[in-house]
Amino acid sequence: MASLFAENAYLPMGWASNVRIEWEDSEILRVTPQSAPQPEDSRVETLVPAIPNLHSHAFQRVLAGLAESTQGKEDDFWTWREAMYAVAAWINPERLYTIAVQLYGEMVAAGYNHVAEFHYLHQPHPLEMSLALIQAAKDVGIGLTLLPVLYQQGGFGRQALQGPQKGFFLETDEYLRLIEDLRAPCNQQIRLGWAPHSLRAVDTLTLQAVSASLGPLPCHIHISEQMKEVEQCLASYDHRPVQWLYKHMDVSAKWCLVHATHLVADEIQAITSSGATVALCPTTEANLGDGFFSLEAFQKLNGRWGIGSDSNSSVSPFEELRWLEYGQRLLHRKRNIAAGKHGSSGTRLLNGCWTSASAVLDRKVGRLEVGYQADWLVLDSQNPNLFQHAHLLDALVFNGNRNPVLESWVSGRLVAQKGEANYQDPNAFRQLLHDLRGAL
């Protein structure tokens, strides 16, 4: 058994002093506030839960900065997608591993403890591509929920896949076999879910059949990210995407709806009533010009949401939360949207992340509590933005860009310290970027 003593720790009931935490085999066994340190304890000043990342495409990390110039025509999500496809076609298992090691190291150093990897680069080696991500997560030490993606058509109305999209395709029986093959490497750190890419990429009968087969697993799906998608869904199904999903599927607390940017009132009601979680990816949604999520209306109905780094052009949970709140302030032209009528924006934003993740990641995370995974962040007591701050959670989100994380722990193991992952290979990543520039 291992143990740690924190002068201050953020527990489910709020801040507590002189907290002793004991854990074994990655699981917290005891949390004792108002205790005395023991000789065997590691000692820290300030401890908070680590932050789950609900949505990532690891390979897109190398696209950062490559799609920020125009080519004589209007630029939007759909033109960006063509640049992304070109990168996707270049990825093989070895390259994917190198990218994921770099990215997952950046994540743990920034404060993420677990990532939901929305993975659709299957061909020509489906199992090897998935195993590359699993090995990268194990080497870095981050928790991983691998979400192999079902991607079978190029748009509503069973449009054929085009060009690089064909590398995302698996027949339904191949897909189910891949899921079965990936159960073996799973453990407390590595979890498994499934992911229909979007309503435009999977037909109704297949979606229902696969859902019935994989029912207990978490399910993540892109939905209503772009108005064009909403308009196409209305034209094809006579329903908006979320309306259609709830009419045809048994959506539960195991479901994670990614983006859900463009919602109307009955869709917000459906999501909040079902207990599903929305994965918001503010820096990516801003980069792609998606629009603004209906956060204020969603929170009034006690909706569950978390954050994701998505395209990974930014890898900071605090920046995601800051963008989320600032976007809402710009939209509504008022302040402290997340806080509601009473409270703190930083506290509400971080609690949103901490309380939403366990069901959709299939891993007990986000709380310093008995039975949960031993995942936490030791904050940097030398960071001037955090000095004796009466509103520490607000300071984490809104006070500057200096990384506030001194140490990052996952499954009871120290995986990053002073802004650097313990396992990394920056030279391999630099060489990969050089090779990519040459290939493009």
Residues labelled catalytic: 259, 310
CA distance 147 to 120: 8
Tokens of 111: 């404060």
CA distances from 44 to 12, 54, 359, 376 (A): 19, 28, 30, 12
For 383, list phi and psi in degrees, rounded to 5.
-75, 115
Whether residue 204 contacts residue 212, with contact meaning beta carbons closer than 8 Å, is answered with no
108 sits in which H/E element: helix 93-110
DSSP state of 258: E
Sheet with 277-280, strands from edge to edge, namely 219-223, 255-259, 277-280, 304-307
Tokens of 389: 């701050």
Whether residue 175 contacts residue 219, with contact meaning beta carbons closer than 8 Å, is answered with no
Tokens of 189: 């750190």
Going by their DSSP bridges, the two strands 143-150 and 112-119 should be labelled as parallel
Collapse the DSSP code of 6 into the 3-class scheme (helix H, G, I; strand E, B; otherwise coil) and give the result.
strand
CA distance 112 to 312: 13
CA distance 314 to 426: 17
Collapse the DSSP code of 41 into the 3-class scheme (helix H, G, I; strand E, B; otherwise coil) and give the result.
coil
Collapse the DSSP code of 420 into the 3-class scheme (helix H, G, I; strand E, B; otherwise coil) and give the result.
strand
Task: Point out which residues pair with 115 in neighbouring strands.
Answer: 53, 144
Whether residue 318 contacts residue 397, with contact meaning beta carbons closer than 8 Å, is answered with yes
SS (H, E, C) 134-164: HHHHHHHCCEEEEEEEECCCCECCCECCCHH
Please calculate the CA angle 281-54-271 and round it to the nearest 5 degrees. Answer: 80
Give the residue from 112, 96, 93 showing the smallest Cα distance to 60: 96
